[in-house]
Chain A
Amino acid sequence: MAEVSINFLLLSPMFLTFFIAIILFGLRKWLSNFAAELATGNMIINTAIFAAVNFKVKASPTKTLYGFYNSTIGIGYSPSTSVQMKVNGFSGWLLIIINTLLILMFVYETTKRREQRRQLSSLLSLLFFSIGMNFSIIANDLFTIFLAWAIVGISLILLLANEQNKLLLRQEVVKAYLLIALALFFLLLGVILSYGFLGSVNLDYIKNHPELLLAVKAQNGLFAIYLIIALFIVGFGLFANLITLNLWMPKAISGSSATIQQTFASITGGLALLAIIKVVYVVFSPTVLTNNGYSFVLLIIGLLTAFQGVFLFSYQVAKKKKTAETFSKIVIFALITNLGIVLTGFATGMIVDSSTIVMQSGLLQESLGFTALQIVNVFFAGYLALTAKEHLLSKRPAQEEVINYQGIGKEYPLTVFTFLIGLASLIGLLPTFGGVNIYLLLFSLVKLEFIGVVIALIFVLLLLLVGFLSLLKQFVFDNPPAQATFIQPKGIGADLSFINFINIVIALGIIVLGLVPSLVGAPIISNASFLLS
């Protein structure tokens, strides 16, 4: 049997998704009733294709496969701007994980569409978003990365515009439009400057030719290098909701559906962080620059983001008059805190990797692996908390303040259970998946002697824990207020919907992975070193 080319395998999911989206749009009159089912089917096929890609990656001796230009066989780089796709041990797993998550999101959307008629455009935007996202993972040159993020950015703008009311559009969403445009501008500027100074946008080429960077350094071009690094950090940082760059996001999406919130706060954020590491570390390798400065800067940014997230999280939890928006913000800020922790983990990995002490390659791999696992946790626990939250909000459509959620655990135990498990995993409570990841990350940081970082992160985790317990008390232990008017009926039987069934499976999965983390942890950790390659 003839072997399928890797180019075909990598590109077919994008083309298929694009084709499905065009068909759905063109034939919306006939297909709108089962558009979501078609889109879900598309995602399942995509995941199967990426599983095949991953199988090929595992079979390859270097655990790396190239699309279009293969740098390892030396015929690559004919044009210096060459487009290149690359899948390695880590990105292969990431593609499967992300697309599995997308299946869940589309299933959720499909179920919602059965209950209420919704516009098709948000579904199409989500399909386009998935194209950009998959592209961003496999792209191995700066220009393709920019294009991938341009698709992501435009999809995000469309997603936001679909569901907002006019007031919010004018007040908050306009900021999102401008900032996404600004982020894309920064990225484009970064790509252009990189090409101008280094003569190539291919990541492997730049990495394998350190003389390019050294030449820039020798010609007093350090300012340009720092400017480009700053452009990439700020450009991706706007997507990753880093400190000072995330002011627009919570407000803009707090009134949106869970799918959009998940897309913005969790998936985009996680992938943007990976993009920062990929671009900044590979193009401007600290070992070539003999300068670890920006790794430390990233570490500080990660910590500050975590602190900002946790303080805003605590503020929302402590707020007396909680509204439905507060409820969304609680989860969103928990996600932002996690992204801060993840960046901190990656930055410490970069510092250790580029340091002259070649001591702890195993420890470094662990540290990077647990950080990567925490991104996976952000994806799934975020999905669980956000969808469960939306499900809870649907129980009280007429009421504004969340005081009416006091004691809701007694009325809708399954939904509250899934919400609390999702949130527990986000705040790093053992024995959930997130808890184990953060614990092990801290453990490896202790072994790497980043004690200050560990203490700062523990401080963050303690604050998260306090907030979580406060919510737990409100939801589970408090009695429902007399004026609360929950939608009837109540109880476990009434609470068992299809969405809840899936969510319970995910929640139990999060606990099982907390108890036996090696199930998912082992392949990710063993391939974690690809993150910095």
Chain B
Amino acid sequence: MNGSITAFFVILFPLIGILFNLLLSQLEESVAAKGRTRDWTLFFTIFLPTAITSWFLLRHLHAYGSFTVEWLPGISAGIRLTELVIVFACIISNLGALLALYSISFMRYDSSRTRYWFFYLLTQAAILFAIFADNLYWLFGGLEIASIGAFFLISHWYKKSGQEGQKAASAAKRYLIINFCSDILILLSFSFMIVSFKSANLADLLTLWPTPPEKILLGSSSNTRLLIRMLLALGALIKGAQVPFLFWPLTSEQQDNDLTKTPLPASMLLTTTTIGSSGLFLLLVFKPFFYSRAAEVGTATPLFSASVLQLIGWFAAITLLFIVLTLFATKNINRLLIGLAIAQQSFSFLAFSTGSTVGYVAAIFNLIVGLPSLFVVAFVFGAILESLRVADLPKVAGMKQEHRVLFILGIIAIVNFAGIFPTSLYFSRDMLFTALKTSRVPTMKGILVVAIVCFFVLTFLTVRAFQKVMQRELSSDYVVRGISKTSLSSLFLSLGWSLVAGIFLLFYNYPESFLFSGLLNKIYALDYPIVFFSDIVLSPILLVLTVSVFVAAFVLYWKPERPFLLKLAATKFVVSIERLINNGYYLHKTSEIFLRKPLNFLQRFFAWIRLKSIFASIIWAILSLVVLTSVLILVGGLG
């Protein structure tokens, strides 16, 4: 089958699923009021075929197909196939299906599942639409529709009683505002691309990039390129939930209006495979904009600018630091998982910022193996959430006694997530650290140090949280429920994926991996002195340190209520740090003073004008005449 037709079906299946879901919801009511016929039907008829069809795309990995349909003069809709697009389509379709499978179990008691599936499928279809787009308009349009779907997924539980519902709605609004900032930046970048290079077609833009821009912005061609790159990078970072803006999926404990109020599978979908990864996709798709080291055609102006890559790298590194601090202080299981999901994106951004081929591959490889590893951890904690219906970390305890299987699976999950050899994440981290170490972009060594430290701390915090929920005594107030087979199936599938991926690499002549030739369309081997170790000194040291951190945390929190741990947690220093983090570094005070208060004042002012002044309209009309005449004189002059 033609690659474009296969791609078309990958988009079409979720679109059909949206309508099919509405139809099934009617059947559900009449046939089986409390059954899950619809959920399973959707999984087998929509999600699974989408995932399977996406694998067929791999046959066209190097075909570079494109198919365009003209709708209106100047407006066309097209599908573009490249290695990157196909790999992303596989990631989104397959991990989307995995999360859908998990949703069947997690959402089984939810009464608004029609709405849930509607926006789940809409988000997935839109993001697939965006990645297959062959021009900037549809790429942006797809991202926008995905954002709308995300808004409704985040606010899914807005009808929950008490503050929970309000916070869910508030989280959705917050997401919308932050995402809107990202949209504006991306839109500006796309607009400048169109203006400067007179094309909205992606393939054309990548070809035209080394040529002198037809329209110069900010005085020179290098400034034009810098502006485009800078806006694109900032927009992509915000979409990928990174600094410089506030993270859309995460707030402080005090504010508590973030994705913790969203169903766990939906929050994972948004932070990993859809909105979260769309930022990284934007950077990867415009890779030549950031990586090309040639000179401009016809002039000697260099195309490369290290400053944008440094910006991406440092913002991702700072994001990691923020996440580490947030996870240190958090007492919410959902927040822990969302933090880990953002950290995965940060590692991919870090890899991209190195500006090297190995970094580019590492960024994608981190998604391929890192996300399933994250899902394993998320499903283990999710099973606990399902079992206890409590997300408060201090209250959840004693799961080792209640779910022995979960404890064993959990250990495998966090070993895998910690990237201990030979699990797949080990190769990913090793590749990332190699990319940072060998990068020619200045200050990457500093970022490497931050990344390594954050990686260790994240491992420590994950193990700590795991031990806290597994050990200790559970209060008798809580009822423990069984874990559903569907949850366990999802867990096994993701665990299998991430473990098999590692073993797969072992048997496929690593470091001359098929992955590189798949992504780069050329034979490419990592320059490793010893197989499996990128550096004869650093790699073993890091491995030993990772194991040490893991074992230390595991042993230390075997009994989380050790007196010295409790004493440490009660020290003034730790308490004040926790308070600072949990209050969101008191940043909300700033927005209160600079944003909310002036807006409230303006609102009251306009309300006063409307209410009190019955002839305000007439005054406005006469005032308009005077102002308009004055403006015309000012603009045109009287000379």
Residues of A with Cβ closer than 8 Å to B?
171, 174-175, 178-179, 182-183, 186, 220, 222-223, 226-227, 229-231, 233-234, 237-238, 244-245, 247-248, 289, 291, 293-294, 296-297, 436, 439-440, 443, 446-447, 449, 451, 454-455, 458-459, 462, 465-466, 469, 473, 477, 517
Chain B residues in 8 Å Cβ range of A244: 620-621, 623-624
- Quick check: A454 and B191 within 8 Å, CB to CB? yes
Q: Do A223 and B615 contact each other (CB < 8 Å), given the known contacts A230-B625, A458-B187?
A: no
Chain B residues in 8 Å Cβ range of A439: 72, 75
Closest CB of chain A to B142's CB: distance in Å?
A: 13
- Quick check: B75 and A455 within 8 Å, CB to CB? no
Closest CB of chain B to A170's CB: distance in Å?
A: 9
Question: Nearest chain-A residue to B198 (Cβ)?
Answer: A447
Pick from B176-184, B239-247, B386-394, B580-588 the stretch touching chain A.
B176-184
- Does B614 reach chain A (CB closer than 8 Å)? yes
- Quick check: B194 and A446 within 8 Å, CB to CB? yes
Pick from B37-45, B465-473, B520-528, B627-635 the stretch touching chain A.
B627-635
Closest CB of chain A to B637's CB: distance in Å?
A: 8
A sample of 20 cross-chain residue pairs with beta-carbon separation below 8 angstroms, ordered by A number, consists of A171-B614, A179-B618, A182-B618, A182-B622, A222-B636, A222-B637, A223-B633, A226-B629, A230-B629, A231-B625, A244-B623, A245-B624, A247-B616, A247-B620, A289-B636, A293-B635, A440-B73, A465-B144, A469-B148, A477-B118
Known: A222-B633, A291-B636, A477-B118. 4 other contacts (CB 8 A): A223-B629, A238-B621, A245-B624, A465-B148
Chain A residues in 8 Å Cβ range of B529: none
- Quick check: B638 and A459 within 8 Å, CB to CB? no
Alpha-carbon distance A248/B115, docked complex (angstroms): 40
Alpha-carbon distance A449/B215, docked complex (angstroms): 10
Q: Which of A174, A179, A247 has the most CB of B within 10 A?
A: A247
Chain B residues in 8 Å Cβ range of A469: 148, 151
Q: Contacting B618 at CB < 8 Å: which of A178, A220, A294, A458? A: A178
Alpha-carbon distance A236/B334, docked complex (angstroms): 57
Q: Contacting B632 at CB < 8 Å: which of A171, A245, A294, A473? A: A294
- Does B162 reach chain A (CB closer than 8 Å)? no
Within B39-78, the residues touching A (CB, 8 Å) are: 72-75
Q: Do A443 and B75 contact each other (CB < 8 Å), given the known contacts A186-B625, A226-B632, A458-B187?
A: yes
Mask: chain B, 190-228; 1 = CB below 8 Å from A; 0 = not: 011011000000000000000000010000000000000
- Quick check: A233 and B628 within 8 Å, CB to CB? yes
- Quick check: B638 and A223 within 8 Å, CB to CB? yes
Closest CB of chain A to B610's CB: distance in Å?
A: 7
Mask: chain B, 600-627; 1 = CB below 8 Å from A; 0 = not: 0000000000100011111011111100
- Does B556 reach chain A (CB closer than 8 Å)? no
- Does B15 reach chain A (CB closer than 8 Å)? no
- Quick check: A247 and B72 within 8 Å, CB to CB? no
Alpha-carbon distance A294/B632, docked complex (angstroms): 6
Closest CB of chain B to A40's CB: distance in Å?
A: 35
Closest CB of chain B to A354's CB: distance in Å?
A: 13
Chain A residues in 8 Å Cβ range of B636: 222, 226, 289, 291, 293-294
Q: Which of B144, B615, B623, B624 has the most CB of A within 10 A?
A: B624
Closest CB of chain B to A31's CB: distance in Å?
A: 38
- Quick check: B191 and A446 within 8 Å, CB to CB? yes
- Quick check: B628 and A230 within 8 Å, CB to CB? yes
Alpha-carbon distance A178/B617, docked complex (angstroms): 9
Chain B residues in 8 Å Cβ range of A238: 621
Chain B residues in 8 Å Cβ range of A294: 632, 635-636
Question: Nearest chain-A residue to B616 (Cβ)?
Answer: A247
- Quick check: A226 and B614 within 8 Å, CB to CB? no
Closest CB of chain B to A320's CB: distance in Å?
A: 11
- Does B360 reach chain A (CB closer than 8 Å)? no
- Quick check: A234 and B188 within 8 Å, CB to CB? no
Chain B residues in 8 Å Cβ range of A234: 621, 624-625, 628
Chain A residues in 8 Å Cβ range of B628: 229-230, 233-234, 297
Chain A residues in 8 Å Cβ range of B624: 234, 237, 244-245
Alpha-carbon distance A466/B145, docked complex (angstroms): 11
Closest CB of chain A to B275's CB: distance in Å?
A: 16
Closest CB of chain B to A513's CB: distance in Å?
A: 12
Alpha-carbon distance A237/B621, docked complex (angstroms): 9
- Does B152 reach chain A (CB closer than 8 Å)? yes
- Quick check: A466 and B195 within 8 Å, CB to CB? no
Mask: chain B, 313-349; 1 = CB below 8 Å from A; 0 = not: 0000000000000000000000000000000000000
Alpha-carbon distance A117/B520, docked complex (angstroms): 76
Mask: chain B, 136-158; 1 = CB below 8 Å from A; 0 = not: 00000000100010011000000
Q: Contacting A297 at CB < 8 Å: which of B151, B176, B632? A: B632
Closest CB of chain B to A336's CB: distance in Å?
A: 14
Chain B residues in 8 Å Cβ range of A182: 618, 621-622
Chain A residues in 8 Å Cβ range of B74: 440, 443, 447
- Quick check: B617 and A248 within 8 Å, CB to CB? yes
Q: Which of B118, B188, B628, B629 has the most CB of A within 10 A?
A: B628
- Quick check: A293 and B632 within 8 Å, CB to CB? yes
Closest CB of chain B to A173's CB: distance in Å?
A: 12
- Quick check: A175 and B614 within 8 Å, CB to CB? yes
Question: Nearest chain-B residue to A238 (Cβ)?
Answer: B621
Alpha-carbon distance A291/B215, docked complex (angstroms): 26
Closest CB of chain B to A180's CB: distance in Å?
A: 11
Closest CB of chain A to B611's CB: distance in Å?
A: 10
Within B381-425, the residues touching A (CB, 8 Å) are: none
Q: Do A220 and B638 contact each other (CB < 8 Å), given the known contacts A178-B618, A455-B191, A466-B176?
A: yes
Chain B residues in 8 Å Cβ range of A440: 72-75
Q: Which of B183, B188, B194, B617 has the most CB of A within 10 A?
A: B617
Alpha-carbon distance A178/B614, docked complex (angstroms): 11
Question: Nearest chain-A residue to B191 (Cβ)?
Answer: A451
Closest CB of chain B to A401's CB: distance in Å?
A: 18
Chain B residues in 8 Å Cβ range of A462: 144, 180, 183
Closest CB of chain A to B387's CB: distance in Å?
A: 30
4 closest pairs, A vs B, by CB? Answer: A293-B635, A226-B632, A293-B636, A230-B628
Question: Nearest chain-A residue to B632 (Cβ)?
Answer: A226
Closest CB of chain A to B168's CB: distance in Å?
A: 14
Closest CB of chain B to A171's CB: distance in Å?
A: 7
Chain B residues in 8 Å Cβ range of A179: 617-618, 621
Question: Nearest chain-B residue to A249 (Cβ)?
Answer: B617
- Quick check: B618 and A175 within 8 Å, CB to CB? yes
Alpha-carbon distance A245/B623, docked complex (angstroms): 10
Alpha-carbon distance A220/B633, docked complex (angstroms): 12
Question: Nearest chain-A residue to B613 (Cβ)?
Answer: A247
Closest CB of chain A to B631's CB: distance in Å?
A: 6
Chain A residues in 8 Å Cβ range of B215: 449
- Quick check: B617 and A247 within 8 Å, CB to CB? yes
Chain A residues in 8 Å Cβ range of B151: 469
Chain A residues in 8 Å Cβ range of B610: 247
- Quick check: B75 and A459 within 8 Å, CB to CB? no
Q: Do A436 and B631 contact each other (CB < 8 Å), given the known contacts A186-B625, A244-B620, A446-B191?
A: no
- Quick check: A175 and B615 within 8 Å, CB to CB? yes
Chain A residues in 8 Å Cβ range of B180: 462
Chain A residues in 8 Å Cβ range of B183: 462
- Quick check: A473 and B635 within 8 Å, CB to CB? no
Question: Nearest chain-A residue to B151 (Cβ)?
Answer: A469
Chain A residues in 8 Å Cβ range of B187: 455, 458
Alpha-carbon distance A227/B624, docked complex (angstroms): 12
Question: Nearest chain-B residue to A226 (Cβ)?
Answer: B632
Chain B residues in 8 Å Cβ range of A449: 195, 215
